[in-house]
Amino acid sequence: MSSDPTGADGDGTAVSMEGISKYFGEVVALEDVDLELRRGEVLALVGDNGAGKSTLIKCLAGVHEPDAGEIRIDGAEVEITNPRDAKALGIETAYQDLALAGNLTVTQNVFLGREETTAFEGLVGVLDKDAMNERAAELLGDLEIDIDPGATVRDLSGGERQLVALSRTLLSDPEIIIMDEPTSALSVEGADRVLALIDRLRDQGISIILISHNLEYTREVADRVQVLFHGRNAGVLDAQAATRDGIVSRMIGGHLDGDEGELDDESEGERGASEAA
Ligand X SMILES: Nc1ncnc2c1ncn2[C@@H]1O[C@H](COP(=O)(O)OP(=O)(O)OP(=O)(O)O)[C@@H](O)[C@H]1O
129 touches 142 (CB < 8 A): no
Pick 97 or 189: Cβ nearer Mg ion: 97
Pick 47 or 174: Cβ nearer ligand X: 47
Pick 86 or 143: Cβ nearer ligand X: 86
Pick 54 or 105: Cβ nearer ligand X: 54
Pick 6 or 81: Cβ nearer ligand X: 81
> Which partner from the list Mg ion, ligand X, none does 182 bind, CB cut-off 5 to 8 Å by kind?
none
Using the CB atoms, write b or e for 251-273: b if 16+ within 10 Å.
beeebeeebebbeeeeeeeeeee
H or E element in which residue 109 lies = helix 106-111
Q: How far is the CB of 38 from ligand X (least distance, A)?
A: 22
Q: How far is the CB of 55 from Mg ion (least distance, A)?
A: 8
Question: Nearest-CB residue to Mg ion?
Answer: 54
Pick 54 or 212: Cβ nearer Mg ion: 54
177: phi then psi, degrees, rounded to nearest 5: -125, 135
Residues in region 36-65 near Mg ion by CB under 5 A: 54
- Tell me the residue type at 234: A
Q: How far is it, in rounded angstroms, from Cα 260 to Cα 258?
A: 6
Q: How far is the CB of 181 from Mg ion (least distance, A)?
A: 7
Q: How far is the CB of 61 from ligand X (least distance, A)?
A: 12
Q: How far is the CB of 21 from ligand X (least distance, A)?
A: 12
Site residues, ligand X (CB under 6 A): 24, 27, 29, 47, 49-55
> How many chain residues touch Mg ion (CB under 5 A)?
1
Q: How far is it, in rounded angstroms, from Cα 277 to Cα 273?
A: 9
DSSP, collapsed to helix, strand or coil, labels residue 201 as helix
Q: How far is the CB of 104 from Mg ion (least distance, A)?
A: 26
> Which partner from the list Mg ion, ligand X, none does 149 bind, CB cut-off 5 to 8 Å by kind?
none
> Which partner from the list ligand X, Mg ion, none does 267 bind, CB cut-off 5 to 8 Å by kind?
none
Closest by alpha carbon to 261, among 48, 51, 44?
44
Q: How far is it, in rounded angstroms, from Cα 142 to Cα 149?
A: 13
Using the CB atoms, write b or e for 58-85: b if 16+ within 10 Å.
bbbbbbbebeebebbbbbeebebeeeee
77 touches 4 (CB < 8 A): no
204 touches 144 (CB < 8 A): no
Closest by alpha carbon to 41, among 232, 266, 238?
238
Cα diameter, the chain: 69
Pick 180 or 262: Cβ nearer ligand X: 180
> Which partner from the list ligand X, Mg ion, none does 55 bind, CB cut-off 5 to 8 Å by kind?
ligand X
218 is an interface residue for Mg ion by CB under 5 A: no
Q: How many residues does the chain have?
A: 277
Q: How far is the CB of 197 from Mg ion (least distance, A)?
A: 21
Which residues of the chain form contacts with Mg ion (CB under 5 A)? 54
